[in-house]
Structure 1
Amino acid sequence: MRFLLITILFSATTVFGQIVNIENKRLDGDKQGFHGSVDLNLNFTMNTKQLLQLGDKLRLGYTKLKHHAFILTDHAFVKSDDDSFINRGYEHVRYNYTLKDSGRIIYEVFQQGQFNKIQKINLRLLFGTGFRFKLIDQKNYNLSFGTGFMGEYEELIDFGNSRDILSTSYLSFDGQFSENIGMNTISYFQPKMVDFGNYRFANETYLRFKINKYLSFKVVYSLVHDSRDIPEVRKTNYVFKNTLSFNF
């Protein structure tokens, strides 16, 4: 009960984006064996309507020498005072294999399932592969670049389904400025292989503040742009939220 009370928080949240930021959810690949974290949140908003949001997140990883695998889940459920109900969620599984002893070149394979009623995504399934390059790998500062491709199956509510091959690239920076303060920022670019003018772009930046060995507080800002014209769906969306995290 004490743990549940500690992890309850209140935040200001707008709409949710379509690209899932995996980079800042990666677990420490140098820590051997199992490791992970759990987040729980409760948000209440009062303006023209009452909104109640419940959410949960799970990160679980396993590392053995050059092999690293992890699974991520994230769900959010929103209910308004007129009984309307909105939900979103995803699961992501990724396997990494370090090709060089320096640890700077990593081969990746991933699978993801996602739904987002706000963005009219009834179902999105991804399966992809690529390489990750550590451009800067220091104790407190890391800069990485990743590139690859993925197959996508997508069902949009009221707009049918599609199958595509996309290029996917990202640039990520993580810095630990002091013992208790750090920052992570990442940008994704995902165009269709046959039509580079049809693309998704996302950036997520967050500040983290360490409270003690097990608790940390995060302030997150996310921006997502989808170039497609989908009726009743904004091309550019953003999120601002606060999270209290328990690590083990």
Structure 2
Amino acid sequence: MKYFILAIFICFSHFGFSQILNLQNSKIEKDSSLIKGNVTASLSMYNRSAAANEPVEFFGYNLKSSIALFLKNSRLAFINDFSYLKINEDPFLNTGFQHLRYSMFEDKRVHPEAFVQFQYDNFRGLFPRWIAGVGLRHDLVKTEDFSFFFSPGIMWEYEAWMIPNTEDEVKVSFLKSTNYIGFRWDVNEFLDINTINYYQTTYDSDAELWRNRYSIELNINSKITERLGINNSFTLSYEDEPIVPITQTIYNFTAGINYKF
């Protein structure tokens, strides 16, 4: 039991998994390059055995990447996030997503976006979640150092959840309203701050209730060199009516090294 409690602490100290994507987590701005991207990675490996005859070893990593292909007045972005934790020989935490987004007419202050996403979270019993949708992004303020934006949209979502402590699975699909608002501020050449807030909602006619999902993420990126930097991220997510009885509020803090190319 004590190892399970320690593992829970490690999970939420080192490996968070946001149910909602932060599009502003890694800054990729258009320049003369056709393809740009960045990678943020962190690694943990150690033991905390209290007794010689009870060895306990922990191994885990978090890997995030953002790659963008720039076309004329448009952008195709591929964003990934993976977290993994193994205790001795047993996988304990395995979460991640792959997100593909196409933004059109980015030279306009109002422009459409289309996206698809695959997601999983075995620790909370989610496998898989499929998302596909469209939105209309509004860049209310867009300068060289500061941007403020919001986007209303609509999406289809399919989820398969395992009911905790059972072998039963629940599968659902909904048409949802998906909306985000956020900003990015380049404080100086070494520091930038960004945050994004999501609100997604739908009416579940079978359960006769509204299902609402909220999320906020704050990122602070510090540049060490032209290609290396440090990323600090805090995420808080809340679902008022989860599909299965799981924790409604989850939060996490992560820190890692970022490499741009």
TM-score, reference length from structure 1 = 0.86
Q: Of the two, which has the highest radius of gyration?
A: 2
Q: Distance in 2 between matches of 1:198 and 1:30?
A: 41
Q: Report the Cα distance in structure 2 between the residues aligned to 1:192 and 1:152, rounded to whole angstroms.
A: 10
Q: CA deviation at 1:163?
A: 0.8
Amino acid at match of 1:239: N
Q: How does 1:193-232 map to 2 (within 5 A)?
A: 193=203, 197-229=210-242
User: For structure 2, which runs of at least 5 residues remain unmatched after alignment?
Assistant: 1-11, 50-55, 163-167
User: Is 2:148 aligned against 1:143?
Assistant: yes
Q: Which residue of 2 aligns with 1:76?
A: 83
- Kept after mapping to 2: 8 A contact 1:170/1:188: yes
Counterpart for residue 122 of structure 1? 127
Q: Distance in 1 between matches of 2:222 and 2:133?
A: 33
Q: What is the aligned partner in structure 2 of residue 8 from structure 1? A: none
Q: Letter of the 1:187 partner, please give it.
A: N
Percent identical residues: 25
The alpha-carbon deviation at position 20 of structure 1 amounts to: 2.2
Match of 1:20 in 2: 21
For the 8 Å contact 1:223–1:236, the answer to whether it is kept is yes
**For residues 233-244 of structure 1, what are the structure 2 equivalents within 5 Å?**
233-244=246-257
Question: Is contact 1:210–1:217 with CA below 8 Å preserved after alignment?
Answer: yes
Per-residue deviation, 1:92: 0.5
- Structure 1 residues 46-76: Cα deviation after superposition (integer angstroms, max 9, x where no partner): 6686532123222211112212111112211
Whole-angstrom distance in 1 between the partners of 2:234 and 2:98: 21
Matches within 5 A, 1:116-195: 116-157=121-162, 158-193=168-203
Once residues 231 and 215 of structure 2 are traced to their aligned partners in structure 1, the CA distance between those partners, rounded to angstroms, is 19
Give the direction of change, closer, same or farther, for the CA distance of 1:230–1:46 in structure 2 (3 Å limit). farther
From 91, 97, 106, the equivalent of 1:90 is 97
Which residue pairs with 1:64 in the alignment? 71
Q: CA-to-partner distance for each residue in 1:112-171, whole Å, 9 max, x for gaps?
A: 000011221110000000100001101111101011000011111233100101100011
- Residues 33 and 15 (structure 1), Cα distance of their counterparts in 2 relative to 1, 3 Å cut: closer
Structure 1: which amino acid aligns with 2:125? K
- Work out the CA distance in 2 between the residues paired with 1:193 and 1:241: 33
Is 2:182–2:195's contact at 8 Å kept on the other side of the alignment? yes
The equivalent of 1:5 in structure 2 is: none
2: CA distance, partners of 1:14 / 1:215: 21
Q: How many residues align?
A: 236
Map Cα deviations across residues 16-47 of structure 1 (whole Å, 9 max, x no partner).
Answer: 33222223246224554111122332124766
Amino acid at match of 1:202: S
CA distance in 2, matches of 1:217, 1:175: 16
Tell me which residue corresponds to 1:110: 115
Name structure 1 gaps, 5 residues minimum: 1-10
Change (3 A) 1:231 1:204: same
Asked if 2 retains the 8 angstrom alpha-carbon contact of 1:145 and 1:172, the reply is yes
Deviation at 1:82, TM superposition (A): 6.8
CA–CA distance in 2 between the matches of 1:105 and 1:69?
Answer: 17
Residue 34 in 1 paired to residue 47 in 2? no
Name the Cα RMSD after superposition.
2.3
Partner SS, residue 81 of structure 2: strand
AA of the residue aligned to 2:66: R
Give the drift of 1:13.
2.3
The whole-number CA distance in structure 2 between the counterparts of 1:46 and 1:203 is 33
SS in 1 for 2:25: helix
SS in 2 for 1:151: strand
